[in-house]
Amino acid sequence: MLGVIVFAHGSRDPLWRLPVESVAREIERSDPAVPVSCAYLELCEPDMVTAARQLVVQGVSRVRVLPLFFGMGKHAREDLPVLMAELAQAHPEVRFEQLPAAGEDPRLTALLATIALEAQP
């Protein structure tokens, strides 16, 4: 069974989490059979290890990690691969897949351009 972790940096500001959680809800709406969890690098809970454990307990055998970073900065390029290796070691029966950073997807950059150019009411 597939599960998804929506992974973001984290912030002390509780309102900062709302867009991250909104992405998770959209995934759940799109496919209610896919368990989804949010995870944060720092300043928020749950962390990646806890989120993965929650999915594994639900019977997930494959986890896709969606990094909500706009670009491939240090966190996406260095920190996330270390976390992914730790998850694979902790759960050898589960296949973990790291998706590209969200901002690297040309569909997202095209959507942002569309939003910027839309006529406002």
What would you report as the CA-atom Rg of the chain, rounded to the nearest whole angstrom?
15
The 36-40 sheet, strands edge to edge: 36-40, 2-8, 62-67, 95-98
CA distances for 109 relative to 50, 65, 114, angstroms: 31, 20, 9
Return the residue matching tokens 């050898």. Answer: 92
> What is the pTM (predicted TM-score) of this model?
0.91
DSSP-assigned letter for residue 95? E
* Total domains present in the chain: 1
Task: List the domain range (segments joined by +) for residue 88.
Answer: 2-117
pLDDT of 79? 85
Residues 7, 49: contact at Cβ < 8 Å? no
pLDDT of 116? 93
Q: What is the pLDDT of residues 77-120, one digit of tens each?
A: 778 899 999 999 999 999 999 999 999 899 999 999 999 999 77
* pLDDT exceeds 80 at position 72: no
Domain with residue 74: its CATH number is 3.40.50.1400
Query: What proportion of the chain, given as a percentage, has pLDDT over 70?
Result: 94
Average per-residue pLDDT for the chain? 93
